């Protein structure tokens, strides 16, 4: 099992579902890796900030309440190319992927930034946390 499979399962468990049953979650977690084309978690957050959704994405990173996001805002935040990449990897249409991501990303990013900031090695720390249980 690859690191990304393990991360998908761990994140799926955190969000109340199994990682193996959610190909979209696995596609997203692969994007959050340090060697991903988007630049990991920091790159994903920067994409939302650059595309006019800083308030929303910053609420997910901070320790306060997460602001909701719509499927249209997911499309705006990720941009067409990245959304298409995630959707393709998950075997979904871009519309279906953006709709599901609207429910997934706020909680996932919130869980990956428990101290209210993006830390280097955050995914590695997450994996260690779950491997220790």
Closest to 18 (Cα-Cα) out of 6, 33, 32: 6
pLDDT band at 3 (very low <50, low <70, confident <90, very high): very low
- How far is it, in rounded angstroms, from Cα 98 to Cα 73? 8
Average the pLDDT over 23-28 and give the result.
Answer: 83
pTM of the complete model: 0.75
pLDDT at 15: 46
Q: Which residues contact 98 (CB under 8 A, 6 or more apart)?
A: 71, 72, 74, 75, 78, 83, 87
Whether 48 shows a pLDDT value over 90: the answer reads: yes
Average the pLDDT over 56-60 and give the result.
Answer: 95
- How far is it, in rounded angstroms, from Cα 102 to Cα 96? 10
CB atoms under 10 Å from CB of 115, counted, come to 10
pLDDT band at 126 (very low <50, low <70, confident <90, very high): low
């Amino acid at each position: 099992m690859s690191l990304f499979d393990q991360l998908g399962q761990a994140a799926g468990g955190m969000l109340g579902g199994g990682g193996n049953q959610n190909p979209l979650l696995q596609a997203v977690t692969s994007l959050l890796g340090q060697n991903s084309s988007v630049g990991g978690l920091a790159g994903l957050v920067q994409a939302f900030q650059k595309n006019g959704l800083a308030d929303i994405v910053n609420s997910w990173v901070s320790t306060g309440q997460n602001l909701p996001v719509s499927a249209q805002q997911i499309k705006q935040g990720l941009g067409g190319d990245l959304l298409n990449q995630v959707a393709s990897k998950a075997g979904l249409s871009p519309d279906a992927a953006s709709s599901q991501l609207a429910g997934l990303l706020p909680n996932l990013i919130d869980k990956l930034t428990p101290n209210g900031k993006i830390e280097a090695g955050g995914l590695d720390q997450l994996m260690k946390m779950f491997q220790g249980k």
